[in-house]
Amino acid sequence: MKRVHISLALLSVAAAIGCSRFSADAPPDSSDGGDDSPGSATSGGIALRGKAQFPLQPGTAVVLSSPAESQPGDAILIAVAVTQSMAPAMVTAPAGFTVKGSRRIQGPAGCSWLDLAYFAGQAERGGADTYTFKVDATSDGTHPVGLTGLLASYSGVDLVQPIEDERESALDRDVPDGGAPQTVFYTTPSLTTLVPNTELLYFVGDNGGGSWLAPEAGAEFVTDTGVLAMFAMRSPAAGTTAAQRFALRAPLCGYTGGGAKLFALRPAK
């Protein structure tokens, strides 16, 4: 079992339940195949099998399922977010997952902490495998701790070196018009790939969340839970990828920053 202690030295996104939106009527976990999603088209043999989300809600574990179409060896990438934990949250991953980073940042007045953690693994049995990430977090006694998560499942990824490049980044909000922001923007850094036909996956988190919009050009929106969003795109040529600028409409927690994890997946030979 992998345990991630999301400490102050590791960056995160600030958020509080008072600013974040719970999905009271949403099921604890949902997953589907990738045929109807923007990332489902192949990239040098790579294809998005499917995605899953765990809507923001109180609890002690994030439970995510891979799509029923998944096969042994498919790459599984996961982002987990913990809101309103007064002490650094501890996320325990199931066996077979590797920790790929974590971040924590304090929010402004009225919004507390958002802890982010990222994991990578491979499907062992195929089919609809279920993955449970246990969370140890501390409530302030007034607001419940909130949990949310996203999963992406890819076929056609190299089994020996599935991740070509990765980058974890703090993000500063760009508020173009000043005043109370109606739409803010996050710009993610570039990745460097040595082989063509890589698949780029972006997990982006925001303190409090809002309505995520796809960039005008480049990465395509896949799914989100308000606090967390997932975007994907293809990089047909090797080299440095372009930075992406993501928009968040009607942000719920003012002028705070965000966090992102970027992956470039290497196609199977």
* pLDDT tens-place string over residues 47-61: 999 999 999 999 999
| Cα–Cα distance, 85 to 145 (Å, whole number) | 6
Q: How confident is the model at residue 91 (pLDDT cuts 50, 70, 90)?
A: very high
DSSP-derived pairing of the beta strands 163-171 and 258-265: antiparallel
For 16-29, what is the mean pLDDT?
Answer: 44
Which residue matches tokens 């698949």?
A: 199
For 260-265, what is the mean pLDDT?
Answer: 93
In a 10 Å sphere around its CB, with 0-12 CB exposed, 13-18 middle and 19+ buried, how is residue 50 labelled? Answer: buried
Q: How confident is the model at residue 20, as a pLDDT?
A: 44
What tens digit of pLDDT does each residue of 161-193 get?
Answer: 999 999 988 776 666 555 555 777 888 888 888
| Cα–Cα distance, 79 to 164 (Å, whole number) | 18
Residue 264 or residue 26, greater confidence: 264
What tens digit of pLDDT does each residue of 112-154 get?
Answer: 688 999 999 999 887 888 999 999 998 888 888 899 999 999 9
| Cα–Cα distance, 44 to 244 (Å, whole number) | 21
For residue 244, give the nearest of 163, 178, 162, 174 by alpha carbon: 174
Q: How confident is the model at residue 218, as a pLDDT?
A: 80
